[in-house]
Amino acid sequence: MREIEYRDALNEAFDEELARDENVVLMGEEVAQYNGAYKVTRGLWDKWGDKRVVDTPISEAGFIGMGIGASMLGIRPVMELMFWSFHSVAFDQLVNNAACCRYMSGGLINVPIVMRGPANGGTNVGATHSHTPEGLFAAFPGLKVCSPATPADAKGMMKTAIRDNDPVYVMENTTLYGNVGEVPDSAEGDFLIPLGKADIKREGSDISLIAHGASVLRCLEAAEILTSEHNINAEVVDLRSIRPLDQDAI
């Protein structure tokens, strides 16, 4: 199977969904001509143009509110936060509006929006760019939260998130964007990974290490050390989704 970078797996997901559904739109700061802060949207503005890949002002509350309003009218926006740390200036939009609209309308109005971007520390970008709010958003009814660890999971879960009729918040990691892994070719068929389904990344019989996002890779490294140095056979469970949470797998 071919191998591609994590960022390219996301890029493929966007490209395929832009082609599949004319209502899919990418929005965010510098996602168009600049190709995204971490080049995840590279080439998409050139291919799809201003109406499908939209640069926004540096106002998270403003452009996220715009995306939520558009989603209520049938558009499927994919909104990039340059860092998830900036969620705080749009908290009302993210929690009160996106999460509550379907319930408050009795199911008459959906909010099929994806919020995505890096949520991690450890890269010397400062404390104000290093928040990991997946646990916070998982606590609010109406939201779905996922954190893919591999290129394949990134592509499959992003495509599923875009097609979901509820808000899905995807927590990425800047340290993963350059990682390379196997991803099925689009010629082999539509590649989707369901939300709320954990994945066993390593079989084991002694203990279980449970993680999500980049922590999965650290757990795989730890599992090898446990085996080689301590004769402990560790299982590694990748949650993939924080909400819905695969409690049966745990």
Active site residues: 60, 129
Give the DSSP letter of residue 189.
-
Q: Do the strands 3-5 and 180-182 form a parallel or antiparallel pair, or are they unpaired?
A: antiparallel
User: At a CB cut-off of 8 Å and minimum separation 6, what does 50 contact?
Assistant: 32
Residue length, the chain?
250
Is the Cβ–Cβ distance between 143 and 99 less than 8 Å?
yes
Cβ atoms < 10 Å from Cβ of 165 = 12
Identify the CA nearest to 153 among candidates 207, 82, 211: 211
Which CA distances in Å does 232 have to 16, 199, 202, 226, 228?
Answer: 43, 21, 13, 5, 8
Question: b/e for 85-100, b at 16 or more Cβ within 10 A?
Answer: bbbeebeebbbebbbe
